[in-house]
Amino acid sequence: MTDQLRYDGQVVVVTGAGGGLGRAYATFFGSRGASVVVNDLGGSFKGEGNSTKAADVVVNEIKAAGGKAVSNYDSVENGERIIGTAIKAFGRIDILINNAGILRDISFKNIKDEDWDLVIGVHVRGSYKCSRAAWPYFRKQKYGRVINTASAAGLFGSFGQTNYSAAKLALVGFTETLAKEGAKYNILCNVVAPIAASRMTETVMPPDVLKALQPEWVVPLVAVLVHKNNTETGSIFEAGGGHMAKLRWERSSGLLLKADDSYTPGAILKKWDNVVDFSNPQYPTGPNDFLTLLEDSMKMGPSDRGETLDFAGRVALV
């Protein structure tokens, strides 16, 4: 097919590529001309143990189909070794898919430091370390594509997943800033919240739902986002079962009060409806949007508040 998106001559690192979504990404890029580093620590979904088998099986699969691939068995927390494998085997790195992940689901009441640290370590520190190691190559060649992996749990919260939710939303902020820093160098970074059948989800979803959520059905969106012709960056997407959508931050129309001693909790309560009113929303894309609002606030006179309080503070809890 002539209109097929191709990645010939490019080098792709997929972390956690020994199974689930990572395997689907790796085999896809292997079939579309890219050289692939298949990274996987080969442990359990809770982050216990390690093995070379998971990565090797996928490398063999890619090679058997005529593609180019090498294994890497390091933890993503040793990102420089994973990127080092790409450089040693193929001489470059073009695309980094930070996909590796673990779960340590437990209610907040029972969570232990270890549950917190392991999950934050693999997802946040792991994505940081791999991206940090790839960054100098991306900058030098003025080309790079990064996908980070978030989750609906991070975007919306999910019972029993405080550690995982915190890690996954951290990757949204990480991506948004990486995209800003990378823009000048044609390094495009996006974050995807997938949903797919894998060992992570097979115990929490019914079989018929799992059947409709093949990992392969997340791949095409990621393929578009890391293609050389893509221009989208700093964006959040969800994808699964053939559905995909972009998400963005929405700010209510808001309330602006003069920041003087009349600015009390009570003054806010009187106009609470404005604070939570989304009928005229804004879609901020950077911290400067908020600073502009503050500039407006500084120009306000006391009369702009449109109300008189008896005395500062006391009115607060009316």
Backbone CA torsion sign across 184, 187, 191, 192: positive
Q: Which residues of 15-45 are buried (b: 16+ CB within 10 A; e: fewer)?
A: bbbbbbbbbbbbbbbbebebbbbbbbbbbeb
Q: Identify which of residues 6 and 199 has a Cβ nearer to ligand NAI in the complex.
A: 199
Q: Identify which of residues 83 and 267 has a Cβ nearer to ligand NAI in the complex.
A: 83
Residue showing the smallest CB distance to ligand NAI in the complex: 20
Least distance from ligand NAI to the Cβ atom of residue 183, Å: 25
Catalytic residue among 128, 164, 263, 283: 164
Contact 181, 174 (CB under 8 A): no
Q: Any residues with CB less than 8 A from the CB of 76 and at least 6 apart, and which?
A: 15, 16, 39, 41, 82, 98, 100, 122, 125, 126, 127, 129, 130
Q: Applying CB under 6 A, which residues contact ligand NAI?
A: 15-16, 18-22, 39-43, 45, 47, 54, 75-76, 99-102, 122, 126, 149, 151, 193-196, 198-201
CB neighbourhood size of 287 (10 A) = 7
Q: Which residues of 100-127 are buried (b: 16+ CB within 10 A; e: fewer)?
A: bbbbbbbeeeebeeebbebbbbbbbbbb
Residues 64, 58: Cα–Cα separation, whole Å: 10
Task: Please indicate whether residue 164 is annotated as part of the active site.
Answer: yes
Least distance from ligand NAI to the Cβ atom of residue 161, Å: 10
Q: Identify which of residues 149 and 262 has a Cβ nearer to ligand NAI in the complex.
A: 149
Q: Identify which of residues 76 and 221 has a Cβ nearer to ligand NAI in the complex.
A: 76
Least distance from ligand NAI to the Cβ atom of residue 200, Å: 4
Contact 11, 93 (CB under 8 A): yes
Least distance from ligand NAI to the Cβ atom of residue 238, Å: 9
Least distance from ligand NAI to the Cβ atom of residue 299, Å: 45
Q: Identify which of residues 22 and 305 has a Cβ nearer to ligand NAI in the complex.
A: 22
- Catalytic residue list: 164
